Structure 1
């Protein structure tokens, strides 16, 4: 599906009314697409904490099983930069819309197959191997999805509201978390543990196919963004956009990856590792922790657009740095509460941790997207965003499990979170703030 002359003309010459319609469609397509992608991804996260250790690694000890399960979880993160490079190339060559349809299909189909995969008891060592392969496909799809979803709305809408418009794709993350975690919570609460482990956890994975069908209908109705259509019309697309992005904007790529540390690393501890940590105390159930995460995600649905809109007014960096500092500030109290407090305080601290995440995740899309020129934006923003997955998000639950095992204290994990915030603060300070800049002007990116 190559971007044709007719679609280029329609996008560039869209009337004010048509533009408003396309902005709404683009915002919906971005948010629904990322909702589906992250619904699938969070299902895997939850299953990795609750089901996969004994289903795919039954002969391992409790500690080893959790480590092996989180290792397959980390594989998906390692694949994300690969997906960003592959789809970044085509997103900056063929357009945002076409590429996003492919990523949606990849993610949905691979997740449905996870829901059908027999355990080690049925097919032996092939089960964890296939699981890892499917996780790789998921990671590649996610790697190509994010920047395209962000750019759909950001490049269609009013440039004075880029923070808010780009955040519609970010909203898909808590929506996916609500749907994925909510589905697991409902099944965990209504089924016996034996039923949940045997077949209940598979139902949400199979429902991915329904969501993919909805997402495809929406994405097929979107025109290419006018910013990219103008690049095509002027014949300014790059022949090797990812290579050019790395060559000319390597600094922005690295800083974009670094600024994500205090957003992404703690987030996967706050939403995935917390399931393992809290339920070690016998008075707490899976359902309780899942419900707390669910409520925190619901709060993010409201707060991500709020903080994004605030970044349009006061600048991305101010809002982002505030969220990073708050994350560092709660790192030690967070594990004190989880280790020693009762249900009410634990519920509150889980929600607060996700508020700190929303302060960063909302403005983040525009902050990274604005750092690259239009003809290299899909690949450059995607690489910067997804590189953090290798060093921050992916290893986080694995390293947290190891740190607790080796040190015997959860405060070693708190130090880990604080260090991530230090990396973020330094990178945000070093990255130019283009909140108020005209990102269609090439001189904005001149050295």
Structure 2
């Protein structure tokens, strides 16, 4: 195994490519991979909000069916930590590139199969069962995707611009937010509501096949990171990265898990509850909601670009403290603003939520990569990001319906505000990481 690793890694290092060209290639690989990952996740989220209650859970009725559809969104977040451990282990032992090809294949194929699934009317309870199985596969892949994409760029980027370069995986996710909405918008504009609910929703899932081919082509062209190859040649691969991570940095793992929670919460509440609210409460048509949603990625990207570049100037920690503090305040105001009940306030609620989410996620990849040692960095980054996904992306949309039914919408805001406040405190407790050389001895820099 070690000999095989050495041959592969040596081949990667012998390749003569200019640093600028290689960095652009690596940036494109990180951007494209997360674009496809988040496109797959977001078209699913949009479909769950618009049609899955009717397609896969018709026997439950409109309200319970919607809750069940949103519940399947949470499945991917539960599977993510398992994927981060599994693929993090492989990525810390075999390298970043190989694992990223595997996760991309799993994500793309499971998405295409989702678009081909028969409905509950056709095969009964087997339909939602298969849907959940495919969601588990997507979750496993997503757990390994982000950490690898983040490391691929952060371990290759110039230290003074690491924040800006490392934001590319997040920008891939932001771009896919708008692209997914546009895909559904074009689909809905070219057919009746009945046709869209019947079969049109499948087309964005099937289109993922073309994106998969592009993503694989780009990823096969990149080489392994120098930081990882140096670590392998110097000390060899860790036998148990997750054990090493918990032994060496348990406090950092716990605190870092909370940093990204508000970003997930803001994004997925917008993509699930807010979209559903626009359709079911404001009586907006699918076309109007999707048209408004098409701008979501632009807003998210603006926040990410500003915060990632700012983190290169003043540090990751100040930016994250400010953004998570702002999220705490906005969480309390979000539902009162939304429930004014106009299209204008619907748009304001969406824009502010996504802007704050972008401010948090912008410096996130650089911050997490700088926080952990190379030997277990893939595992640690993926695990923290996945845990944040459960707490912020999976839990709030899942419990929002139940809390609203029992206590009203303002109770959801208070719960969300409490979660954001805990994240704010965790940001304060973590140290600054900007300027750390990722291939140096960790002990020398703390």
Contact kept? 1:266, 1:417, Cα under 8 Å: no
Alpha-carbon distance change, 299 to 389 in structure 1, aligned in 2, over 3 angstroms: closer
Deviates more, 1:104-113 or 1:414-423: 414-423
Contact kept? 2:282, 2:342, Cα under 8 Å: no
Partner of 2:142: 142
Normalised by the length of structure 2, the TM-score is 0.95
**Structure 1: runs of 5 or more not aligned:** none
Partner of 2:342: 342
- Cα distance in 1 for residues equivalent to 2:332 and 2:242: 40
Listed as ranges, the matches of 1:250-265 within 5 Å are: 250-265=250-265
Shift of 1:20: 1.8
- Cα distance in 2 for residues equivalent to 1:221 and 1:406: 53
Listed as ranges, the matches of 1:101-180 within 5 Å are: 101-180=101-180
Listed as ranges, the matches of 1:259-338 within 5 Å are: 259-338=259-338
The two structures, once aligned, show a CA RMSD in angstroms of 1.9
Listed as ranges, the matches of 1:2-401 within 5 Å are: 4-5=5-6, 7-9=8-10, 12=13, 18-401=18-401
Deviates more, 1:216-225 or 1:180-189: 180-189
- Cα distance in 1 for residues equivalent to 2:341 and 2:129: 40
Deviates more, 1:289-298 or 1:208-217: 289-298
Shift of 1:189: 3.2
Contact kept? 2:72, 2:135, Cα under 8 Å: yes
CA distances 1:211-231 after superposition (whole Å, capped 9, x unpaired):
000000000010100000111
- Cα distance in 2 for residues equivalent to 1:174 and 1:230: 32
Contact kept? 1:292, 1:351, Cα under 8 Å: no
Shift of 1:416: 1.8
- Cα distance in 2 for residues equivalent to 1:52 and 1:445: 53
- Cα distance in 1 for residues equivalent to 2:444 and 2:149: 22
- Cα distance in 1 for residues equivalent to 2:387 and 2:136: 15
Normalised by the length of structure 1, the TM-score is 0.95
Alpha-carbon distance change, 365 to 311 in structure 1, aligned in 2, over 3 angstroms: same
CA distances 1:281-328 after superposition (whole Å, capped 9, x unpaired):
254223323322321211223431221011011011111122212222
- Cα distance in 1 for residues equivalent to 2:352 and 2:391: 24
Contact kept? 2:101, 2:216, Cα under 8 Å: yes
Residue-pair matches, total: 445
CA distances 1:59-107 after superposition (whole Å, capped 9, x unpaired):
1122211111111111111000000000000000000000000000000
- Cα distance in 1 for residues equivalent to 2:351 and 2:236: 46
- Cα distance in 2 for residues equivalent to 1:277 and 1:246: 41
- Cα distance in 2 for residues equivalent to 1:276 and 1:49: 6
Partner of 1:423: 422
3-state SS of the aligned residue for 1:340?
Answer: coil
Contact kept? 1:103, 1:145, Cα under 8 Å: yes
- Cα distance in 2 for residues equivalent to 1:413 and 1:73: 18
- Cα distance in 2 for residues equivalent to 1:415 and 1:5: 53
CA distances 1:230-275 after superposition (whole Å, capped 9, x unpaired):
1122243211112211222222221111112211122210222111
- Cα distance in 1 for residues equivalent to 2:150 and 2:250: 20
Deviates more, 1:66-75 or 1:182-191: 182-191
Shift of 1:186: 2.2
CA distances 1:339-389 after superposition (whole Å, capped 9, x unpaired):
124222322331121111111010111111111111111011111111122
Alpha-carbon distance change, 283 to 393 in structure 1, aligned in 2, over 3 angstroms: closer
CA distances 1:185-210 after superposition (whole Å, capped 9, x unpaired):
22223321110011100001011111
Alpha-carbon distance change, 392 to 273 in structure 1, aligned in 2, over 3 angstroms: same
Deviates more, 1:98-107 or 1:360-369: 360-369
Deviates more, 1:359-368 or 1:187-196: 187-196
Contact kept? 1:262, 1:421, Cα under 8 Å: yes
Alpha-carbon distance change, 157 to 379 in structure 1, aligned in 2, over 3 angstroms: same
**Structure 2: runs of 5 or more not aligned:** none
Shift of 1:402: 1.0
3-state SS of the aligned residue for 1:160?
Answer: helix
